[in-house]
Amino acid sequence: MQDALAIHRWLLARQIHHEIVRLPRVLTSADELPEVLGVPPETCVTVTVFEVTTRGCREPVAVISSVARRPRPSVIAAALGAERVRPASSYTVNAVTDYAAGLVCPLLLPEKLTLLIDRRLVDATDPDVFVHTATGERMTALRLRAVHLFPLASGKPVELAGHGLAS
């Protein structure tokens, strides 16, 4: 499983300024980051994994978004032209991301995993603002500038604004 130390070493090797933040209480999911850190939900980045069925083939798809605007399955289905989209089980999330379900970091995800980034997150976030994300661990979070996170996340920006994201 990926963890804060693996992320820290990977970012150090790329000379990316970042901070691994020790949390005052345990997280059960990235949705709790704004409350635990006392920061706006728009600055907290999360990864949601879905099981997407297209032409009878089912595959996992991960979507990077803000905690404030997590995508619904219907949004992903419309954006991808999929027949069916449903949230992935915890077992699937753990297996395809190498992170604990609910605490997936947008970095160090396997290359074979389809990764989408909500374009509104990229467009609406000032590159110099600090964003926070889970590290796969319950007691830590990653803090770094948006200008570093989005290029390092190997995902494809997708326009989801016209598809009605959940708030």
- Phi, psi angles (nearest 5°) of residue 136: 95, -10
Residue recorded with tokens 């949004």: 75
Q: pLDDT tens, position by position, for the chain (167 residues)?
A: 899 999 999 999 999 999 999 999 999 999 999 999 999 999 999 999 999 999 889 999 999 999 998 888 888 999 899 999 999 999 999 999 999 999 999 999 999 999 999 988 988 889 999 999 999 999 999 999 999 998 999 888 888 765 544 44
Of 109, 108, 102, 105, whose CA–CA distance to 88 is shortest? 102
The predicted structure's pLDDT at residue 72: 84
Domains of the chain: 4-158 (3.90.960.10)
Q: What is the DSSP letter of 15?
A: T
Backbone phi, then psi, for 45, in 5-degree steps? Answer: -105, 135
120-132 core/surface letters (b: 16 or more CB in 10 A; e: else): bbbeebeeeeebb
Global pTM? 0.91
